[in-house]
Structure 1
Amino acid sequence: MPDRRRADALRNYSRILAVAEEEVAAHGAGASLEQIARTAGVGSATVRRHFPTRHALLEAVSRERIEALRVRARDLAGADDSRGALLEWLSDLVDYCVSARGLAAALSYDGAEVDPVHENTCAATMREAVEPLVRRAARDGTVAADTAAGDLITLIVGIALATEHFPDPATQADRLFRLAVAGLSP
């Protein structure tokens, strides 16, 4: 279906999104919406018209990375080692969350009631993507039967958010992920 927005609205959307990607990469999920508007050469109302919530903006910024993760989960679904495939995908998610400041916030649950128009599609897409890997690993007995995809996403988001201000967030996030996978057993 063709996009029916006016040409200037499409240009504004593209410009806002490009600036937002740079600002989120530099400043994380808390990037200033006013700075994004100024740099894009539009008013803050224009930013809000295209992205009614910060979450909507973060999701738009993260869309390509989310799609790559969805495809990666599909590619891993046929792997011989179901636990290895699940852990590999989760490790990829950790890497993406750490490298794409703001992605963890886009995936996080903010406690607000779900708005059907602006629901958290990033989180839903990730849950749907990993669900077959989780089910298969549980069926194979390589993860606990009650392991839930949403819980794993929440765990990764927590790790990414907790480590984003460390001097080397990637190393710290990987360490915490491996600790979570191994548990506290020696």
Structure 2
Amino acid sequence: MRADAQRNYDRLLQEARQAFIVHGTDVALEDIAKHAGVGIGTLYRHFPDRYALMNAVFEQEIEAITERARELLHCGDPAEALARWLRSVAVHSTAYRGLAAAIMEGPDARMPACKSLLRTAGGSLLWRAQQAGAIRGDVEIADLLKLNYAIVSIAEKNTDDRGLYDRLMAVTVDGMRVRHTEDGSPAGFRKSFLDQVDEMAAANVANARGAAEADRFA
């Protein structure tokens, strides 16, 4: 990349980072280009769309989250380490309004570098907790990140309740912990929500048929 092109790229990243913090990720790209001292065409030459620009900005931020995951790999309680890391993700997401939604709600083709870094960092902590028998084996990092995003979104809409995120995350982590039977062996995993719905529906159908048969012979 030529020196002038590199300067434009760096200025665009710097202005975009500040704009996302102050105005959120929906800020007009024209405003970012203007404050960077370049035309909108220059912005699009470097970043084909809004998500390419966001990916470039947040990839650097997520490096800090990745480093935090490495530190927490040495935490004595693997489940607590996972919870602390998720809180770090939440703090970064809240600083940039719209970041969590952009990463979690879009398809995998959108902001792929950010998603890959998050899943790799969190996946190492989750795997460690599962190997230690602390977290259920059916928990997946992609689902856990979506749960974290949902909790962040709720907390952002209830800013007067400052302890809301921590309470909801505590419930989430508790629900992921492995339960043990009286003899100390791990308890079986609960059936999925949809499996329970199917079983309830089947039971209702059977009850309805039984009632119909009883009425016919009454």
TM-score, normalized by the shorter chain, greater than 0.5: yes
The CA distance in 2 between the partners of 1:174 and 1:65, in whole Å, is 22
The CA distance in 1 between the partners of 2:125 and 2:33, in whole Å, is 40
The CA distance in 1 between the partners of 2:21 and 2:97, in whole Å, is 5
The CA distance in 2 between the partners of 1:97 and 1:130, in whole Å, is 15
The superposition leaves residues 37-88 of structure 1 with CA deviations (integer Å, 9 ceiling, x where unpaired) of 1221212121111111211211222223200110111111122211111111
C-alpha RMSD over aligned residues? 2.2
Match of 1:67 among 57, 63, 70: 63
Q: Normalising to structure 2: TM-score of the pair?
A: 0.71
Is the counterpart of residue 147 in structure 1 residue 143 in structure 2?
A: no
Range with bigger deviation, 147-156 or 174-183 = 174-183
Q: Percent of aligned pairs with the same residue?
A: 38
Name structure 1 gaps, 5 residues minimum.
Answer: none
Residue 178 of structure 1 and its aligned partner are, at CA, apart by 3.2
Query: Partner of 1:30: helix, strand, or coil?
Result: coil
Q: Could you say which structure has the greater relative contact order, defined with CA pairs below 8 angstroms and 6 or more residues apart?
A: 1
Is the counterpart of residue 77 in structure 1 residue 73 in structure 2?
A: yes
Find the counterpart in structure 2 of residue 41 from structure 1: 37
Distance 1:168 1:38, change over 3 A: farther
8 Å contact kept, 2:55–2:111: no
The CA distance in 2 between the partners of 1:161 and 1:130, in whole Å, is 19
8 Å contact kept, 2:93–2:99: yes
Is the counterpart of residue 8 in structure 1 residue 8 in structure 2?
A: no
Name structure 2 gaps, 5 residues minimum.
Answer: 176-218
Q: Normalising to structure 1: TM-score of the pair?
A: 0.83
Range with bigger deviation, 101-110 or 150-159 = 101-110
